[in-house]
């Protein structure tokens, strides 16, 4: 089980900068792919992308249709190796 010490609302245009500055350890970012911001978070700031549980994905895609869709991120989109 994961516990968060604090949850804050941070504008999306500040999330990666603040993550890279070490101001927080995790963030949720709903964006299209590819994303230069996510590439930076992963390649320059040692971030990891974690797949949400399939139930969460199914509920989000169903509730927010047509705004969200389940997709696989193509290999090497954010990692070179």
Position 69 confidence tier, pLDDT thresholds 50, 70, 90: confident
What's the whole-number mean pLDDT along residues 47-70?
86
SS (H, E, C) 38-81: HHHHHHCCCCCCCCCCHHHHHHHHHHCCCCCCCCCCCCCCCCCC
pTM of this prediction? Answer: 0.74
Residue 3 has pLDDT above 90, yes or no: no
Q: Are 25 and 1 in contact (CB under 8 A)?
A: no
What's residue 73's pLDDT? 87
Residue 81's pLDDT band (boundaries 50, 70, 90)? low
Domain ranges for the chain, please list them: 12-63
């Amino acid at each position: 089980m994961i516990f968060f010490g604090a949850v804050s609302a941070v504008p999306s245009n500040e999330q990666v900068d603040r993550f890279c500055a070490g101001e927080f350890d995790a963030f949720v970012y709903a964006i299209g792919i590819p994303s230069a911001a996510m590439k930076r978070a992963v390649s320059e700031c040692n971030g990891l992308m974690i797949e949400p549980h399939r139930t969460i994905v199914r509920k989000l895609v169903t509730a927010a249709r047509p705004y969200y869709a389940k997709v696989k991120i193509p290999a090497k989109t954010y990692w070179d190796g």
